[in-house]
Amino acid sequence: MPEFIITALLGGLGVAAITGPLGAFVVWRRMAYFGDTLAHSALMGVALGFLFGINLNLAVMACCVLLAILLVAMQKQHLVATDTLLGIMAHSTLSIGLVAVSLLDHIRIDLMEYLFGDLLAIAPNDLLWVFGGGVLVLLTLWRLWHPLLAITINEELARVEGVNVTATRLALMLMIALVIAVAMKLVGILLITSLLIIPAAAARRLSSTPEQMAVIASALGMLAVSGGIWGSWTFDTPAGPSVVVTALLIFLALYSLPFRKGQ
């Protein structure tokens, strides 16, 4: 097996391990549009990274984190409905990023690589970001698992029980921002949210507890990555979209089953 295939597989499996449990909370809390908003802002981070000559992962991470904090702050003001606010920021940040990239005449940027990913072009040093960020997210999730479940079930009841709802919600948003920064090169800005949602939604079919859903979502994500890379290598298709299509096929296969276990 070629070395770049092994590198791509390791990177994809690492991302799937993170997006599984985190995607479960995205599905439970109906935060798909929030994930899209952060993903769209990633292109603005790419443009700023090239403009100021800083590491693209750090630039994307900083941009996503700042946007997450801004969203939390604006949601507390209740000036605009949340879905309207997310729609404004998603398309505005993506457009700002596209305009900024077009103005960087002295730098050649392959937009397709950032929009749709290039999993087979992942470098060994990218694995450091994937596994480093993955360990950080998984440790944080483990530490905040019960508070996150509490605010997902009922925020008011969680607040009565002593959970800092605002801080916990912000921590979840920051973890999503970190995953988007890590996964951007693998599946692309426009497809990141699908890797968070589809395996988790498929895992819901097989799960009876939150913990089961988190673990199964990671396993299904890894299966999608493996199948997507195989399909990309075999049929010469784009790797990122191939992973998402494989995840969709798994989802459709599971939901076509005549029985339903769990919720």
Whole-angstrom CA distances from 28 to 36, 124, 148, 220, 233 are: 16, 34, 11, 17, 34
Does some domain include residue 261? Answer: no
Does the residue 263 lie in any domain? no
Q: Is residue 199 part of a domain?
A: yes
242-246: list long-range contacts, CB under 8 Å, 24+ apart: 243/12, 243/119, 243/186, 243/187, 243/191, 243/195, 244/187, 244/191, 244/194, 244/195, 244/198
Q: According to the model, what pLDDT value does residue 263 have? A: 45
Model-level pTM?
0.90
Residue 93 lies in a domain: yes
What total of structural domains would you count in the chain?
1
* Domain hosting residue 62, numbered range: 3-256
Q: What is the CATH number of the domain that holds 9?
A: 1.10.3470.10
Residue 262 lies in a domain: no
Structure tokens at 55: 């590491």
Whether residue 187 contacts residue 119, with contact meaning beta carbons closer than 8 Å, is answered with yes
Q: pLDDT tens across 19-44, in order?
A: 999 999 999 998 888 888 888 888 88
In a domain, 250, yes or no: yes
Q: What is the pLDDT of residues 56-106, one digit of tens each?
A: 888 888 898 888 888 878 877 777 887 888 888 888 988 988 888 888 877
| Residues 130-169: tens digit of each pLDDT | 999 999 999 999 999 999 999 999 999 999 999 999 899 8
Under the banding of pLDDT at 50, 70 and 90, the label for residue 260 is low
126 domain residue, yes or no: yes
SS3 144: helix
Q: Is residue 178 part of a domain?
A: yes
